[in-house]
């Protein structure tokens, strides 16, 4: 299951320059423009501040590509399949500015390394572009990905949405970095419905002021997915500071599972993006 959070424009400080306030605007196009306007010194300042709050102080966790000010953040369980024992801290691409993070893959892969891609990341890019690009038709796919991010609940290549993949320390860090530093307008996570009933995620998120309502209260709305009504969007209102509005939605299912097991162009996946747009318009 996936989760998204809708957060209103909380950039109200009178001590910020207008272009700095726009880094956390509720308007994705303003975020894109603000990122492109940042001077090199300002970029370094924002990056250093974000890295200082990283789970790995000074470095960024493996498998978590993001902008420094993503309008949209996805939350997954783990970086995918592979072999590792989970004991070593692994580091990934640092948060990016005015262009897509290399780890979104495909045409945005690091030119110093062989291009890589996967069906999961194709669906991620389709979702980011489908939501942001539809709300802001003047933005390119690269623009949309430049204000997108992807976090996980652990850094092991687990490949399964089980509690074994969750690192409690990272699961506690994710809501903190989202609400205090990244400050997105929308957050979407995948494969979390069952995990929210388990001990690890309930404990980690239960201690968060912003995310605790998801594990302690019933959803405000339960909306059947139009492509297959056996699956549902579940929605919570979240508490938020500075007068901003927050909405948390549990997505119908992980993008690699039924009813989304086809390609990024499948009817079901595209239908879920379209329905999410409708939900966003009334949230």
Mean pLDDT on 24-28: 89
pTM metric for this prediction: 0.89
Question: Which pLDDT tens digit goes with each residue over 226-275?
Answer: 999 999 988 887 776 555 666 777 899 999 999 999 999 999 999 999 99
Residue 280's pLDDT is 81
What element of type H or E holds 46? helix 40-52
pLDDT value at 111 more than 90? no
pLDDT value at 9 more than 80? no
6 vs 68: CA distance, rounded Å: 18
Question: Exposed, middle or buried, 88 (CB in 10 Å: 0-12/13-18/19+)?
Answer: exposed
Percent of the chain with pLDDT over 90: 54
Phi, psi dihedrals of residue 68, rounded to the nearest 5°: -70, -20
Tokens of 228: 């297959």
Residue 161's pLDDT is 67
pLDDT value at 13 more than 50? no
Q: Mean pLDDT score of the chain, rounded to an integer?
A: 85
């Amino acid at each position: 299951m996936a989760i998204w959070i809708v957060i209103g424009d909380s950039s109200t400080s009178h001590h910020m320059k207008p272009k700095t306030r726009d880094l956390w605007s509720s308007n994705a196009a303003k975020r894109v423009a603000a990122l492109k306007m940042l001077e090199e010194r300002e970029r370094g300042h924002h990056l250093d501040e974000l890295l200082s709050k990283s789970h790995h102080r000074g470095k960024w966790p493996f498998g978590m590509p993001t902008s420094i000010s993503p309008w949209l953040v996805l939350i997954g369980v783990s970086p995918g399949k592979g072999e590792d024992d989970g004991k070593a801290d692994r580091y990934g691409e640092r948060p990016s500015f005015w262009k897509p993070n290399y780890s979104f893959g495909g045409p945005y892969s690091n030119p110093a390394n062989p291009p890589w891609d996967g069906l999961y990341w194709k669906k991620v890019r389709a979702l980011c572009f489908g939501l942001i690009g539809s709300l802001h038709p003047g933005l390119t796919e690269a623009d949309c990905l430049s204000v997108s991010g992807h976090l996980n609940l652990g850094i092991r290549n687990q490949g399964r949405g089980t509690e074994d993949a969750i690192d409690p320390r990272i699961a506690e860090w994710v809501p903190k970095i989202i609400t205090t530093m990244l400050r997105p307008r929308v957050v979407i996570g995948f494969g979390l419905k069952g995990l929210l009933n388990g001990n690890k995620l309930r404990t980690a998120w239960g201690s968060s002021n912003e995310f605790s309502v998801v594990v302690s209260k019933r959803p405000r709305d339960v909306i059947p997915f139009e492509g297959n009504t056996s699956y549902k969007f579940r929605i919570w209102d979240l508490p938020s500071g500075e007068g901003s509005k927050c909405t948390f939605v549990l997505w119908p299912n992980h993008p690699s599972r039924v009813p989304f097991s086809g390609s990024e162009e499948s009817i079901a996946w595209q239908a879920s993006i379209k329905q999410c747009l409708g939900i966003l318009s009334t949230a």
